[in-house]
């Protein structure tokens, strides 16, 4: 396959698989969403420092569902898939991520572990959707995987085994809902996200009681201060409703194996937020890890751009070698 990143006719970015056009505005939007999600990890930490993580996440999805579902019609998707998405999204992804931060992971490290979903998503795309992976994308994923190995060797107290397990479960959950979105090909994505949020709060409140022995009424009356409430609102509206509405629309438009590497930008912004708001120290292994992950995102975009430019030179070089 001839890989191209820039369409000569339209000047648009091309994905490494299937030559699918990524317009410049979509590229900007995708990066902006990853920035929003990255800083959201610091917002989660601010919340779990004040209120039970399951209650925090339950409130997040309560506000994401209400009042939105009062203004948008139920999407043309079966109740089963709406509920399944909501439960996996609420409990399996963000319930787990809140617990990972609550049990000792820093905001930056939690985000990088969640990005294991990038590799899981690519594998799911290949296995279930028959998507093909370009050579440049394989190189990018390999670089990012090496970065994750460096993360595993961090010993400054920002990584805990229990926190890692919670975050890894969250990564599996995130990959699962990405695959679900691709398979369902939902038309009204905003309505789907809003209505699915309706099914997350009750399981999360139940887990707060069963796992942590926390009573919802007590938490709301004693622990829900202004910081926790601000955290809930930020997670509910810009992060959940806006962020996942836009991201899921992009998932429908572009291959899963192309969208997944962009999510590796999230921990870069998450680390930046952790440094700004929580004074997280940047040791050499963290710098190397995040540099490798950034390279893993850039390579699949840059290589297809350089290849067509180098093609005439390589052809000329081969002809000179043959003539000798």
What is the residue-level pLDDT of the chain in tens, covering all 324 positions? 444 333 444 444 444 444 456 788 999 999 999 999 999 999 999 999 999 999 999 999 999 999 999 999 999 999 999 999 999 999 999 999 999 999 988 888 888 788 777 777 777 777 877 777 778 778 888 887 888 788 777 767 677 889 989 999 999 999 898 888 878 878 888 999 999 999 999 999 999 999 889 888 889 989 999 999 999 999 999 999 999 889 888 988 888 767 877 877 888 888 889 889 988 777 788 788 878 877 876 777 677 767 777 778 777 777 777 776
Q: Is 14 helix (H, G, I), strand (E, B) or coil?
A: strand
Q: CB neighbours (10 Å) of residue 294?
A: 17
What are the extents of the domains in the chain? 13-318
| Angstrom distance (rounded) from CA 280 to CA 294 | 19
- Among 92, 82, 275, residue whose Cα is nearest residue 167: 92
Helix axes 244-253, 24-48, angle to 10 degrees: 140
What is the rounded distance in angstroms from the CA atom of residue 322 to the CA atom of residue 324?
A: 5
Partners of residue 14 on adjacent β-strands? 21
Are the CB atoms for 178 and 171 separated by under 8 Å? no
- Strands 13-14, 21-22: pairing is antiparallel
Other C-beta atoms closer than 10 Å to the C-beta of 198 total 20
Is 126:258 a contact under the CB 8 Å cutoff?
Answer: no
Strand runs (DSSP E) across 15-139, as ranges? Answer: 21-22
Contact criterion met (CB below 8 Å) for 170 and 114: yes
Q: Residue 181 and residue 205: Cα distance in Å, rounded?
A: 26
Q: Take residue 95 and report the two structure tokens written for it.
A: 């319930």
245 CB-near residues (< 8 Å, 6+ apart): 189, 190, 193
pTM: 0.76
The whole-number pLDDT of residue 257 equals: 67
What pLDDT is recorded for position 178? 82
> Strand ranges (DSSP E) for the chain?
13-14, 21-22
């Amino acid at each position: 396959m001839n890989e191209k990143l820039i369409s000569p006719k339209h000047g648009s970015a091309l994905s490494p698989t299937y030559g699918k056009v990524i317009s410049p505005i979509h590229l900007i939007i995708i990066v902006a969403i990853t920035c929003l999600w990255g800083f959201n990890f610091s917002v989660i930490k601010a919340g779990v420092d004040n209120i039970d993580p399951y209650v925090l996440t339950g409130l997040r999805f309560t506000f994401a569902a209400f009042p939105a579902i009062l203004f948008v019609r139920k999407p043309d998707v079966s109740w089963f898939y709406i509920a399944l998405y909501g439960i996996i999204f609420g409990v399996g992804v963000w319930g787990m991520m809140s617990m990972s931060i609550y049990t000792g992971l820093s905001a930056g490290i939690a985000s990088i572990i969640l990005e294991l979903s990038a590799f899981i998503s690519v594998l799911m795309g290949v296995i279930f959707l028959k998507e093909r992976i370009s050579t440049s994308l394989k190189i990018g994923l390999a670089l990012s995987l090496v970065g994750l190995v460096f993360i595993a060797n961090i010993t400054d107290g920002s990584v805990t085994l229990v926190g890692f397990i919670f975050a890894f479960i969250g990564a599996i959950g995130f990959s699962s809902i990405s695959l679900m979105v691709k398979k369902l090909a939902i038309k009204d994505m905003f309505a789907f996200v809003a209505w699915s949020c309706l099914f997350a709060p009750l399981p999360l409140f139940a887990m707060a009681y069963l796992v942590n022995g926390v009573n919802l009424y007590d938490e709301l009356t004693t622990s829900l201060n202004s910081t926790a409430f601000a955290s809930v609102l930020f997670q509910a509206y810009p992060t959940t409703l806006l962020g996942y509405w836009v991201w899921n629309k992009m998932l429908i438009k572009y291959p899963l194996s192309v969208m997944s590497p962009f999510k590796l930008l999230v921990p870069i912004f998450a680390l930046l937020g952790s440094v700004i708001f929580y004074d997280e120290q940047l040791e050499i292994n963290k710098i190397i890890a995040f540099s490798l992950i950034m390279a893993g995102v850039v390579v699949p975009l840059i290589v297809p751009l350089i290849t067509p430019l180098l093609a005439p030179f390589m052809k000329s070089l081969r002809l000179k070698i043959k003539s000798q």
